[in-house]
Amino acid sequence: MSNCQPVIRLDRVSKAYDEGDARRIVLHHVSLTICKGEFVVLLGKSGSGKSTLLNLIGGIDVPTEGDIWLGEHCITALSDHERTLLRRKYIGFVFQAFNLIPVLNVLENVMLPLELSGARGGEVRARAQSLLEQVGLAHRMSAFPDQLSGGEQQRVAIARALISDPLVVLADEPTGNLDYETGQTVLELLDTLTRRAGKNLVMVTHSEDVIGIADRVLRLRDGHLIESPATSPAPNGRASTQYVTSA
């Protein structure tokens, strides 16, 4: 695809764990290119390596073999500290468990990533307030996490993931702790906000419900990555593209 601007690239990435005398291979020579603006879904049964792959892309973990690139940065060539700084600048995370700080209110939770990067002042607060308005929580800025519903907490987590204006948003089972209706609302919100901002969204899930709104659907099976067609067109009308190889 000639107009593809690669944002994420995996080059023959493998991940294995030593379990006693045995070696368990989770990912086997996976290669993948994700283009700018794509919403990609990773499907697979429990234990298939979905979260492992997401953690590798996010620089939380490192591969046993192969290289991973985020834009022009080779993540696998960086030190732990350098990967931490790269995550803060370029990656937003949305987790199943929300991971909000209980002693901080909603506004403070959203502001936290920028403050950890050294930003301070009214501009940080204004950006956090704007994002909370976009996720429908302008009236809950002073509330604490334990005063929110699960859906509200996940919307706070989405605002927090976007506060640093990341290149990529990584979502790990973002609807796993929500009921179906609330989960659908959260999915639509994630899709809308990331597309509006021109971000890449890579989502791990075991749910088939998200297939219809994704640009590409990838399945992990026996350590290999396989591209599957979506059951319905993506909202932006883009066709699925074949950038997956697994040897």
* CATH code of residue 185: 3.40.50.300
Give 61-80 pLDDT, tens digit per residue: 999 999 999 999 999 999 99
In a domain, 210, yes or no: yes
Q: Does any domain span residue 105?
A: yes
> Measured between alpha carbons, how far is 34 from 161 in angstroms, rounded to an integer?
19
Q: Which H or E run contains 184?
A: helix 180-196
Look at residue 32 and tell me if it is in a domain. no
**What pLDDT does residue 110 have?**
96
Identify which of 196, 165, 25 has the alpha carbon closest to the alpha carbon of residue 92: 165
**What does the pLDDT look like over 14-61, one tens digit per residue?**
999 988 888 889 999 999 999 999 999 999 888 888 999 999 999 999
For residue 211, the model assigns a pLDDT of 83
Q: Give just the sign of the alpha carbon dihedral 44, 47, 49, 50.
A: positive
Q: Report the C-alpha gap between 182 and 132 in whole angstroms.
A: 17
Whether residue 72 is contained in a domain is answered as no
Whole-number pLDDT of residue 230: 60
Q: What is the mean pLDDT of the chain?
A: 88
Question: φ and ψ at 84, to 5 degrees?
Answer: -60, -45
Sequence-ordered strand ranges (E) for the chain: 6-19, 22-35, 39-43, 65-70, 73-74, 91-95, 168-172, 200-205, 216-221, 224-228, 244-246
Instruction: Establish if 14 belongs to a structural domain.
Output: no
The residue to which tokens 């919307």 are assigned: 155
**Torsion, CA 169, CA 172, CA 176, CA 178, rounded to 10:** -20
The pLDDT of residue 242 is 38
Positive or negative, the CA dihedral 51, 158, 99, 88 is positive
Q: Is the residue at 75 inside a domain?
A: no
Mean predicted confidence (pLDDT) in 82-93: 93
* Residue 141 forms part of a structural domain: yes
Q: Quote the pLDDT of residue 2.
A: 59
The pTM for the full model equals 0.87
- 243: in domain: no
Q: What is the pLDDT of residue 121?
A: 81
CA dist 151 and 203 (Å) reads 17
Instruction: In whole angstroms, give the CA distance from residue 95 to residue 172.
Output: 5
The tally of domains found in the chain comes to 1
Q: Percent of the chain, pLDDT > 90?
A: 66
- Residues 120-150: pLDDT tens digits? 788 999 999 999 999 999 999 999 999 999 9
User: Which residue segment(s) compose the domain that 215 sits in?
Assistant: 37-55+80-237
The pair of three-digit structure tokens given for residue 178, joined into one six-digit string:
């929500």
> Would the pLDDT of 240 be above 70?
no
